Structure 1
Amino acid sequence: MDHRSLLYFTTLIEEGSFTQAAKALYISQPSLSSAIKKIEEQVGIKLIERNTRNISLTKEGEIVYEEAKKLLNHFNYFQKETIRLKQDGPLELHIGLIESVRFWLPKVLASYTKTHPDIHIRLLEVLGLKQVETALKNYKIHLAITNQLFESDEIEMIPIYNEKLVALLPKGHALQDATNLSIHDLQDEEFIICKEGFQTRDDILNEYRKSGIRPNIHFEIERFETACALVEEGLGITIVPENYLRTPDHPSLTIKKLTDTSLSRTVYIAFIKNRYLPPVIEEFVDITKTFFKES
């Protein structure tokens, strides 16, 4: 099965009919129908169900379609990359980020760009598990700096540091002067937490479960910035990574360590296994690892 066959098959599925797919591919409908039959003969399984109005994938066809899309994405990426390498050399670095990297990433980039002054760096905020995984697999980023835990065997994860999670209270809160603040003290507080699909949410909820209590969730958010703003307005309390609060952006907040828990998270560099990474990207990974070893 060649590139053209994959393109014909995936276009047919995405367009939903032989008529529309043939138009999109600028070929005749009989030619497309013949090509699809040839694909099914080559793989030896039925891929699509046909009727007079539309088509649908068989269970086997669903798997072949997903793999075909990956191959086409890889082929398109390969074509673009070879053209770019011929013209400019390997001068791009696309990084997916979580919020708390702001305390260290500028320092690493300052060091990195001294030896790569012409490189174009694109920083994208990718937070949830599916968002990070999709960005990696679809070539939107070369690597991700993330605390998400992936079940995919396709993704390599290099741990770079561990950070504690701390409670965040509004100024004047009844617990702000507590010497030993425990997670049990937060049981009845109106709680602000990341939405589903975020590893930090899972870590916090697991800690509550281990303590035998349930958080009183009032708000679900994506960004810690939003959580901090809600706490500042007295709309609840939250738990965030300690490193996110290294800069004094929120003077009207009280930061409290939780004394009865080791609640923390590990931050990783994640990338797709067995995918070529240009030397400039490998050098960024090495510089990042060195930064945390030395600090």
Structure 2
Amino acid sequence: MEIRYLNYFVVVAEKRSFTKAAEQLHISQPSLSSAIKNMEKSLDLKLIERSTKEFRLTEEGELLYQEAKKLIRHHENVLNELENVKKSGVGEFSIGLIESSMLWLPDLLNQFKENFPHVKVKLLEVLSLEEVEEALWNYEIHLAITNQFIHREEIETAPVYRERLVALFPPQHPLTEKPYIHLSDLAEEPFIVSREGFQTREDILKAFREVGIVPNIQFEIERFETATRLVEENLGVTMIPENYVKYAKSLSANARPIQDFPLLRTVYLAFEKNRYLPPTASGFIDLVKNYFEKD
């Protein structure tokens, strides 16, 4: 089946009208209707329910619609990859990343550029689960470095490493006199946490719930950089990945481990299973796995 016929069907399904779909596709309505009927004949399936006045896909039509969208996106992606190679002789490699990955990613990118010196690398911050899924779905990125586990069959989410979350306090805060703290120590503190949609927020609030504490949330943020800045200005306390503290170039806030309820988060590589991944993407995945297997 030609890709253009799948595109015809997708447009009809989304416009819910042969007339509007024909206008968008710049073909006549009879030609479009004939193309869809020929699809049904070749598949020996009824795709659109025509017995009612309301436009409705059959169960088979809905399945074809969902799968056809994926095939069209995959087809466009391959054409784009080939066009990039034709123009420059190389291509592009796009990575979606969370903020804390920039602590180790430059080291890996140096190794990557040794293997693929002429490849153009695009880095895109994708922080929330919705952003990660949308970037993968729209082919904005080849893969994502994320702390979100994606529960979708078509996406591979492979664990890379785990890291602790630690509490971060302003300079001279009384709790920094302790070598470690308990979650109960944070019950009355003005708390800074990621906004809704971020896995780190869910992990932190779940820990508080399990020990029976409702945190005093005063600020919701997107970036750890913002959280640490607020802490340094004595506006509250927060929890951030231990590696963020470890590799920070300048940080006046003080971190303390949490003893009674150690919080861990997993960082993953996520990519679409059925999408064409260029050798650059496979090479990068191998570099990441080897890098953390050594630790």
- When normalised by structure 1's length, the TM-score is 0.87
Query: Does 1:68 pair with 2:48?
Result: no
- Distance in 2, matches of 1:261 and 1:224, equals 21
C-alpha distance in structure 1 between counterparts of 2:239 and 2:115, whole Å: 38
Q: Contact between 2:84 and 2:92, CA under 8 Å: does it hold in 1?
A: no
SS at structure 1 position matched to 2:196: coil
* Structure 2 counterparts to residues 69-148 of structure 1, below 5 A: 69-148=69-148
- 1:241, distance to aligned residue in structure 2 (A): 0.7
Q: 1:10 to 1:248 in 2, by over 3 A?
A: same
Aligned to 1:250: 251
Q: Tell me how far 1:89 sits from its aligned partner.
A: 4.4
- Is contact 1:99–1:224 with CA below 8 Å preserved after alignment? yes
Classify the secondary structure of the residue corresponding to 2:177.
coil
* Structure-2 change in CA distance of 1:292 and 1:46 (3 Å): closer
Counterpart CA distance in 2 for 1:69 and 1:49 is 22
Cα distance, 1:46 vs structure 2: 4.5
Mapping of 1:147-158 within 5 angstroms?
147-158=147-158
SS in 2 for 1:270: strand
Higher alpha-carbon deviation: 137-146 or 36-45 = 36-45
* Distance in 1, Cα, partners of 2:61 & 2:233: 52
Between the aligned residues of both structures, percent identity stands at 49
Q: CA RMSD in A?
A: 2.6
Indicate the SS of the match to 1:277: coil
SS of residue in 2 equivalent to 1:118: coil
Determine the structure 2 residue equivalent to 1:269: 269
Structure 2 residue matching 1:27: 3-state secondary structure: coil
Give 3-state SS (helix, strand or coil) of 1:176's partner. Answer: helix
More divergent stretch after superposition (33-42 vs 230-239)? 33-42
Specify the alignment match of 1:204 in structure 2. 204
Q: CA–CA distance in 1 between the matches of 2:66 and 2:195?
A: 27
Query: In the superposition, relative to structure 1, how do residues 48 and 122 fare at CA in structure 2: closer, same or farther (>3 Å)?
Result: farther
Are the counterparts in 2 of residues 50 and 56 from structure 1 also a CA contact under 8 Å?
no
The alpha-carbon distance between structure 1 residues 153 and 13, as it changes in their structure 2 partners (threshold 3 A), is closer
2:239 and 2:63 map into 1 onto residues whose CA distance is 40
Residue 28 in structure 1 maps to residue 28 in structure 2? yes
Q: Which amino acid aligns with 2:227?
A: A
Residue 282 of structure 1 corresponds to 282
Q: Per the alignment, do residues 176 and 69 of structure 1 end up closer, same or farther by CA in structure 2, a change over 3 Å counting? A: same
Partner Cα distance (2:257, 2:50) in 1 = 59
Q: CA separation in 1, counterparts of 2:27 and 2:51?
A: 19
Contact preservation (8 Å) 2:155, 2:272: yes
> Which range moved further: 66-75 or 208-217?
208-217
Aligned residue number for residue 189 of structure 2: 189
Unaligned runs of 5+ in 2: none
Distance 1:73 1:27 in 2: 22
Equivalents in 1 of 2:75, 2:51: separation in Å? 29
CA displacement 1:247-288 (0-9 Å, x = unmatched) = 13332x222211212211111222222433222222222222
Number of aligned positions between the proteins: 293
Q: Partner letter of residue 98 of structure 1?
A: I
Please state how far the C-alpha of 1:149 moved relative to its aligned partner: 0.8
**Could you tell me the TM-score, scaled by structure 2's length?**
0.87
Query: What is the aligned partner in structure 1 of residue 229 from structure 2?
Result: 229
Q: Which residue identity does 1:12 align to in structure 2?
A: V
